[in-house]
Structure 1
Amino acid sequence: MLAHYLAGAAIELVAAPTPPPAAPPGLEAAGDLFIGWMKWILIVAGVGGLLVCGIMMAVGRRNRSAFAADGAAGIPWVLAGLTCGAVAAVVVGAVLPG
């Protein structure tokens, strides 16, 4: 009897409606603009971050090897941030399919 009740409850949970995402009226253009700005900021910050790492490595070559090592250690962090930004839409689309 309990198994029958639990099976019925599970069917009710599975049958819950899942409408696709919809932008509020008038905000779709603002949302696209905001995401575009964030992508632009990511590109500028990524280029700047890699340039800073390169400058640190070049300046720290002689007698300041710790400075060069810090620059080299920053490269994976910059690349990880760029990767997160590049796959953000894919990950969100996989977690919340529309």
Structure 2
Amino acid sequence: MLTHLADVALNVLAAPEPADLDPGAIEIPGLGFLVTQLLGWAKWALIVAGILGMFICAGMMIMGRRNRSSTAVDGATGIPWVLGGLTLGAVAATVVGAVL
């Protein structure tokens, strides 16, 4: 009798299973295609912005080669920012999936 009460108490006081609390992502009916298309456009825009950012940094470094060293330095310091933005865009889905 005492062990039965202990089992009942453990079942009542036990924490719920995590699967019960997190049902997972469920697509809103009819919005899957639209969201996929918007994310595709955003990815394309990030690629274009990354390429333009690298071109701008390269141009600044080329133009600042002679007598304008601060322009070259600004171009060189922009490269990590471009790469950081591209990296953040590349890992965005993984980070959001890990947090949620």
**TM bracket (short chain):** 0.7 to 0.9
CA root-mean-square deviation: 2.0
Distance 2:18 2:94 in 1: 25
SS class of match (1:93): helix
Deviations 1:29-83 (A, max 9, x none): 0010010000000000000000000000000111100010000000000000000
1:30: which partner in 2? Answer: 34
Q: Max radius of gyration: which structure?
A: 2
Amino acid paired to 1:53: C
Report SS of the residue matched to 1:70.
helix
Of the candidates 84, 90, 98, which is equivalent to residue 86 of structure 1? 90
Task: State how far apart, in whole Å, the 2-side matches of 1:20 and 1:50 are.
Answer: 38
In the superposition, the TM-score normalised over structure 1's length comes to: 0.82
Return the alpha-carbon distance in structure 2 between the equivalents of residues 12 and 92 of structure 1: 24
Q: Higher relative CO (CA 8 A, sep ≥ 6), structure 1 or 2?
A: 1
Mapped partners of 1:15, 1:56: distance in 2 = 53
Partner of 1:44: 48
1:67-82 equivalence runs, <5 A: 67-82=71-86
Question: Normalising by structure 2, what TM-score?
Answer: 0.81
Gapped regions of structure 1 (runs ≥ 5): none
Alpha-carbon distance change, 59 to 91 in structure 1, aligned in 2, over 3 angstroms: same
- Identity percentage of aligned residues: 54
C-alpha change, 1:58 and 1:28, in structure 2 (3 Å) is same
| Structure 2: 5+ residue stretches without partners | 1-8
